[in-house]
Amino acid sequence: MEDTESCRRHRKPSKMDYLEPCEIISDEEVEEIRTALEEGDLCTATEKLSKSLHDIENAPLNIAVTGMTGSGKSTFVNVIRGLDDDDGEGAAKTGVTETTMEAKAYQHPEYKNVIIWDLPGIGSPNFNPSNYLTDVKFDQYDFFIIMSSERFRHNDILLAKEIKSMGKKFYFVRNKIDSDLHACQQRKKSYNEENILKEIRDNCIENLHNGGIQDSKVFLLSCLDLKKYDFNQMQETLEQELPSQKRHVFMLSLPNISLPILEKKREAFRKQIWKWATLSCGVAAIPIPGLSVACDVGILVAQMIKYRNAFGLDQNSLEKLANKFDKDVNELKSVIKSPIVVKEINKELVTTLLTRGATGGLMFVEYLASNIPVAGTIVAGGISFATTYYMLYSFLKELANDAERVLKKALDSPV
């Protein structure tokens, strides 16, 4: 690997090297990696990076969805994973009667370490609320979502108190808000949606407060249209209150239903690029003839595929989005500008792109050295790190912009 020695050259880092914040790796870990690189110990640096990336990519997230029978728990389990009720195998069973008799795990289709648990309905004749948490093995969940399609009842409050006493977080979701609004619109001559939503939210909070639940967090949702009402506020609250590694995988697993979610996914991926670039430099496997570049092309291929799938730009996701909004899939594809999305992403394609990306990587060196942790210890020695970073950065930017255009097209918004 002709660039391995150049990756080991020593440079005293300047204060500019510390500008980039890293929320999903501690300052201590960054410093350990930096020190290993400065000492020429590329093996230790790549080992620490590999472990950090593995831990982040595979952080388990278990979300429990519970509440009164008929509150729409199973539908929520489906839509939060980007599925419809009639998607067959993998979709939680729904119906007008109680369909969940025991805790059932549903993996996210793209992120297998994210599991949504559909718990039995509170108050159903087949379940005793006093033994509920023990029966569903409460300690395996990161947090609980307590759902209701009406006012929160006595059993919901008892459950919340038990969850709190056991040191777990819980959030109240008032579901089927669209039905409430429709009923109000039919009954009232003067209809003000904002006032009605405030009235429902205040009533829920007051009801919970009277039951002894202080500072309750209540989110109004419609599982038929998650982009409306309080879904963005809910995901922002969960993102803030989850541990950093679980926060990362939670953000990536969210359905692509709004522009803020797409932007958060872009940011989550962007904060990882420097680690993949460092790792690629450290385990360089495929030198590109005629260039002073050595990158692990396999890393680039895997990350590019991951970006495309996370933004819902793979063929299957585009077809589902087209069906959901009654569009022709080619109509959605028409606004995709990146030529790479429609091709098979493989080593041959990436190797070809690398020959073009080397120049861009050289131009990127100054930016990297002043903005990325540990970059100063690598970039000074060559363009391997910079080229890998540039490739991922550029591809991520292209796909995020394409995903935004596709969503706007599906929603009939100006592209």
Q: In this predicted model, which residue has the larger pLDDT, 401 or 195? A: 401
pLDDT at 90 over 90: no
Q: Which residues, in sequence order, are bridge partners of residue 169?
A: 143
pLDDT for the residue 415: 58
pLDDT for the residue 341: 75
The whole-number average pLDDT for the span 78-100 is 69
| pTM exceeds 0.85, yes or no | no
CA distance 81 to 19: 35
Q: Among 39-53, 283-297, 307-321, whose mean pLDDT is lowest?
A: 283-297
Residue 389 CB-density burial (10 A; 0-12 exposed, 13-18 middle, 19+ buried): buried
**pLDDT tier for residue 63 given thresholds of 50, 70 and 90:** very high
pLDDT more than 70, % of the chain: 71
Alpha carbon distances (Å) from 304 to 293, 355, 375, 388, 400: 19, 17, 21, 12, 12
pLDDT for the residue 14: 33
Are the C-beta atoms of 218 and 208 separated by less than 8 Å?
yes
CA distance 168 to 193: 34
CA distance 386 to 304: 17
* Helix (H), strand (E) at residue 411: none
pLDDT at 382 over 90: no
CA distance 63 to 38: 41
For CA atoms 212, 214, 220, 226, give the dihedral sign: negative
Contacts of 184 (CB under 8 A, 6+ apart): 191, 196
Most confident listed range (88-102, 142-156, 358-372): 142-156
Scan for tokens 């594809």, then name that residue: 333
Domain extents for the chain?
Answer: 4-57+271-410, 61-255
Which letter does DSSP use for residue 25 in this model? Answer: S
Scan for tokens 């407060």, then name that residue: 209
Nearest Cα to Cα of residue 195 among 208, 209, 185, 186: 185
CA distance 320 to 318: 5
pLDDT for the residue 360: 53
Tokens of residue 127, six digits: 């379940």
Tokens of residue 65, six digits: 């969805």
pLDDT for the residue 3: 39
pLDDT for the residue 81: 87
CA distance 110 to 105: 15
pLDDT for the residue 263: 92
Asked: is 61-255 a CATH 2.40.40.20 domain? The reply is no
Are the C-beta atoms of 397 and 332 separated by less than 8 Å?
no
pLDDT for the residue 308: 92
Mean predicted lDDT score pLDDT of the chain: 75
Number of helical H runs and strand E runs in the chain: 18, 8
Q: For residue range 8-47, what is the model confidence (pLDDT) as tens digits?
A: 333 333 322 322 434 444 555 555 555 655 555 556 666 7
Percentage helix, strand, coil for the chain under 3-state DSSP, each rounded to 5: 55, 10, 40
Q: Which residues, in sequence order, are bridge partners of residue 174?
A: 148, 220
pLDDT for the residue 128: 64
* Helix (H), strand (E) at residue 317: helix 315-324
CA distance 213 to 334: 51
Contacts of 234 (CB under 8 A, 6+ apart): 171, 173, 219, 221
Tokens of residue 40, six digits: 């020429």
Q: For residue range 383-398, what is the model confidence (pLDDT) as tens digits?
A: 667 777 888 888 999 9
Q: Which residues, in sequence order, are bridge partners of residue 144?
A: 64, 170
Scan for tokens 């909004």, then name that residue: 325
